[in-house]
Amino acid sequence: MKINLDYTNLTKHYVNGDWVKPISSKKFEVLNPATEELVGHIILGNTEDVDRAVDFANKAFRDFSSTSKSERLSLLKKLREITEKRFDELAYAMTVEMGAPITMAKDAQADAALGHLDGFIHALEDLKEHEILKNGDEIVREPIGVCGLITPWNWPINQIALKVIPALATGCTCILKPSEHTPISAMIYAEIIHEAGYPSGVFNLVHGDGPEVGSGLSKHPDIQMMSFTGSTRAGREVTCDSAETVKRVTLELGGKSPNIVFSDSNLVTRITESVEECMFNTGQSCDAPTRMLIESNCYDEALEIAKNAAENISVGDPQTDGTHIGPLFDKIQYDRVQKMIQVGLDEGATLLTGGLGRPRNFEKGWFVKPTVFSNVSNNMQIAQQEIFGPVLVLIPFDTEEEAIEIANDSPYGLAAYIQTNDKEKSRRVASRLRAGAVHINGGAYNYGSPFGGYKQSGNGREGGDMGLEDYLETGLWEGKAGAFGYQDEHDWLQITEGSETNVVGLPMELLETMVAEFAPEVASDETR
């Protein structure tokens, strides 16, 4: 599959409803990870670019925050229409910029733009913007303000959709900083938003790196909320930068997800599918089941199944249809994965398959061998550190209690997986796993469900109903209709009947006198 993409806007930023020349002039090359060829370049923004975008977003918030739910739903439905029209371009862009095989890019990467949108449309339809509590007070849910959104390279549109759409749905305005490594899909998404008819300044796109644009957004006093997806290290930096202005911060960070395989499961099916899940997206998923914990009485059999499954995973050209995996997204990541494979060898783990270097017949591109280690203990680096490549470690356990202990023995808590035919056991074990999501016997994530982690995997939830909450402030209206309250004594107000804290029906004549006395500059015939 080959699509001619229009790169006209790639060197520009999208600000205030227009594609504008960046203030900065710092170039960044975008490379195809399969061919190592230059695709194009972007201009990395600076703090001035950030300030400009925030200023327009702040001004746009005044009107957009007052739009009705029905108006925002209409815009979201138009957004869906345009997204469908440009679906193939989105998919192909991710094939070019990050090496996602085109079949996978369509079925998963680009599909997320529509799937999450549908989930948020349903969530917005059900959202109660005003709710009366049992005590008679009224809860008001309103947009939090200007939002800074930072997204990663491994699931570019998935994460853009999970952040941009709830911002637009709730009446917020936003500035998106996509990964500088995957700017093409972000550019197309900005064009989609523009064509959908969103008002100027509501959505803005500023390319840049973390130290300059990412930090500029996090520190900016006019940004009320930061949503970040990326490494745990970078998440800490966003949190620290945001602390200066005490803004809300939501984080979706790293993972080292355990996959507990009990001997009573269908071993061939469950292990084969687990290996495929680990290698999916070339292992570049934060919730990938990269630690397989195997019950000892089936360990030897499981090793053979896992080895065969990994060796049946093919590596191929991303632009060719099929179920193969593609390259890692750049040389830096390739070198990191190679280093961790060497660490595993040095730690004494047994290499079942894969290993160092490129697969056979690949002389260029950041392709790696699907790799499986056995005889791994959970204190090894390859069992504790996120490798972010197609590398699986196999760890034996003897008892259910030991499996739970090993599974939770990690600084991360994004996802966990359980394979067993015993329903009661699956629920019992799941209840004790410290993870944001537990997948049982191949259960997959569904659009509209909350996604997020425990511990150093982050905070907050993305997707569906809960995905709207982080973009909303909750206000409280107390009191009674037609009334106002006051706290301080005033000699101009005489209470003849009832409570002085709840004065009903203030006469306009008295109001006119009060205004004339305390604010004569507004007590004109016009204002009366």
The answer on 305 and 263 residing in a single domain is yes
The answer on 149 and 57 residing in a single domain is yes
- Indicate whether 45 belongs to any domain: yes
Calculate ∠ Cα 78-82-85, nearest 5°.
145
What's the rounded Cα separation, in Å, for the pair 425 and 83? Answer: 43
Our measurement of the distance from residue 341's CA atom to the centroid of its chain's CA atoms, rounded to an integer in Å, reads 28
The answer on 72 and 19 residing in a single domain is yes
Calculate ∠ Cα 509-511-517, nearest 5°.
105
**Residue 518 domain boundaries:** 486-528
Residue 1's pLDDT band, with cuts at 50, 70 and 90, is: low
In the three-class reduction of DSSP (H, G, I as helix; E, B as strand; rest coil), residue 40 is classed as strand
Among 312-326, 333-347, 489-503, the minimum mean pLDDT is found in 489-503
Our measurement of the distance from residue 400's CA atom to the centroid of its chain's CA atoms, rounded to an integer in Å, reads 33
Statement: residue 518 has pLDDT above 90: no
Q: pLDDT by residue (tens digit) across 68-110?
A: 999 999 999 999 999 999 999 999 999 999 999 999 999 999 9
Domain containing residue 229: CATH number = 3.40.605.10
Total structural domains within the chain: 3
DSSP state of 169: H
- Indicate whether 27 belongs to any domain: yes
Confidence (pLDDT) at 73: 98
In the three-class reduction of DSSP (H, G, I as helix; E, B as strand; rest coil), residue 485 is classed as coil
Alpha helices in 38-86 (DSSP H): 47-64, 69-85
In the three-class reduction of DSSP (H, G, I as helix; E, B as strand; rest coil), residue 188 is classed as helix
Q: pLDDT by residue (tens digit) across 41-69?
A: 999 999 999 999 999 999 999 999 999 99
The answer on 470 and 440 residing in a single domain is no
The amino acid that residue 303 corresponds to is: L
Q: pLDDT by residue (tens digit) across 431-483?
A: 999 999 999 999 999 999 999 999 999 999 999 999 999 999 999 887 654 44
The answer on 519 and 435 residing in a single domain is no
The answer on 352 and 306 residing in a single domain is yes
Q: pLDDT by residue (tens digit) across 3-14?
A: 899 999 999 999
- Indicate whether 366 belongs to any domain: yes
The answer on 350 and 441 residing in a single domain is yes
Confidence (pLDDT) at 507: 54
The answer on 122 and 59 residing in a single domain is yes
In the three-class reduction of DSSP (H, G, I as helix; E, B as strand; rest coil), residue 477 is classed as strand
- Indicate whether 2 belongs to any domain: no
The answer on 403 and 276 residing in a single domain is yes
Catalytic residues: 252, 286
What's the rounded Cα separation, in Å, for the pair 238 and 249? Answer: 8
Confidence (pLDDT) at 476: 86
Domain containing residue 318: CATH number = 3.40.309.10
The answer on 246 and 263 residing in a single domain is no
What's the rounded Cα separation, in Å, for the pair 174 and 191? Answer: 15
Residue 528's pLDDT band, with cuts at 50, 70 and 90, is: very low
The answer on 44 and 164 residing in a single domain is yes
For residue 229, count other CB atoms closer than 10 A to its CB. 25
- Indicate whether 116 belongs to any domain: yes
The answer on 233 and 348 residing in a single domain is no
- Indicate whether 7 belongs to any domain: no
Confidence (pLDDT) at 491: 54
State both tokens at 425.
């056991």
- Indicate whether 130 belongs to any domain: yes
- Indicate whether 188 belongs to any domain: yes
Mean per-residue pLDDT for 396-402?
98
Among 368, 268, 377, smallest CA distance to 314 is for 368
